[in-house]
Structure 1
Amino acid sequence: MNIKLIAIGKTDNKDLENLTNIYQSRLGFYINFSIEIIPDIKNVKKLSEEQQKQKEGLLILSKLSATDAVILLDENGKQFDSVGFSSYLQKYMNSGIKQLVFVIGGPYGFSPEMYTKANGKLSLSKMTFSHQMIRLFFIEQLYRGFTILRNEPYHHR
């Protein structure tokens, strides 16, 4: 199985980018993982929130295949502790899907079409974090999840 993270907008903080890259490289020991960054939409000041969500949704949908399992990182999604999240990952790995795609939307969330396409929603916290920080937190939790599945000591250092 492959895991892909799709996110809107590049990270402008080099420290966050470096930390994200560290965890991304660590994940390579466990699974084929990739990140796809969709550039920010231009001229957003001329768009309503709904129009921006629609445009972002179309861009995200164009990056998905019909067989992808799609999980939206959404504030109203299911929350897990790290062990529960590792079990969630294991369930998808056992399901036989080829690619599991997690999506971080834009600042206003997702279009209705994205919710229709999604197989599930996941929330990392009830708190609000920048989209750039969510990338790091999510990738670290993916890494942690795989170390839990392998019974490695990272989770309880």
Structure 2
Amino acid sequence: MNITIVCVGKLKEKFWAQAVAEYAKRLGAFCRLDIREVADVDPAKAGGEEAAIRREGQAICAAVPERCHAILLAIDGKQRSSEGLAQRLDQLALQGESSIAFIIGGSCGVSPEVRARAKETLSFGSITLPHNLARVVLVEQIYRAFKISRHEPYHK
């Protein structure tokens, strides 16, 4: 399975990058992981939030692989347990979806084009997470999903 994570902004702090790198390394046994960072756009320099969202949206859409099942992380998305995410990834694989992209938008949100590109949404709950932490949580949950699906120790 090919998994792409498209995210706005770079991981500036070393500890975030190390956490993502650790789970990315672990995921190497289960899938091919590609993390694509697109530049975050400063609304003050872009002419406002809408302009920043539009520019980030263009970059996000360009970074999402053409033939993939795109899942947007959104606070209003579908909440899934770790087991539920594992079941969903298994279901997608059984349906022939070998390429999945997860999208983490910018701090101002995402454009309607990004929402339209996504085939579904996923939420980590109604709390607000910093985008750096959301990326770490996402990579960890993908790893956990693979471990659950293979009935391997880690989950509990």
Secondary structure of the equivalent of 2:77?
strand
Other-structure match for 1:98: 98
TM-superposed deviation, 1:143: 0.4
Secondary structure of the equivalent of 1:128?
coil
Identity across aligned pairs (percent)? 34
Structure 2 unaligned residues grouped into runs of 5+ = none
One-letter code aligned to 2:32: N
Secondary structure of the equivalent of 1:57?
helix
Q: Deviations over 1:93-137 (max 9, x none)?
A: 112123110000000111011111110000012111100000000
Give, in whole Å, the separation in 2 of the partners of 1:64 and 1:98: 14
Other-structure match for 2:44: 45
Give, in whole Å, the separation in 2 of the partners of 1:148 and 1:88: 12
Other-structure match for 1:144: 144
Q: Deviations over 1:10-68 (max 9, x none)?
A: 01111111011000100011111111111222x53132211111101101111234322
Q: How many pairs align?
A: 155
TM-score, length-scaled by structure 1: 0.94
Give, in whole Å, the separation in 2 of the partners of 1:38 and 1:66: 16
One-letter code aligned to 1:55: R
Q: Deviations over 1:69-101 (max 9, x none)?
A: 111000000001111110011111112123110
TM-score, length-scaled by structure 2: 0.95
Other-structure match for 1:119: 119
One-letter code aligned to 2:99: Q
Query: What do you get for the CA RMSD once the two structures are aligned?
Result: 1.1
Return structure 1 stretches of 4+ with deviation > 2 angstroms: none
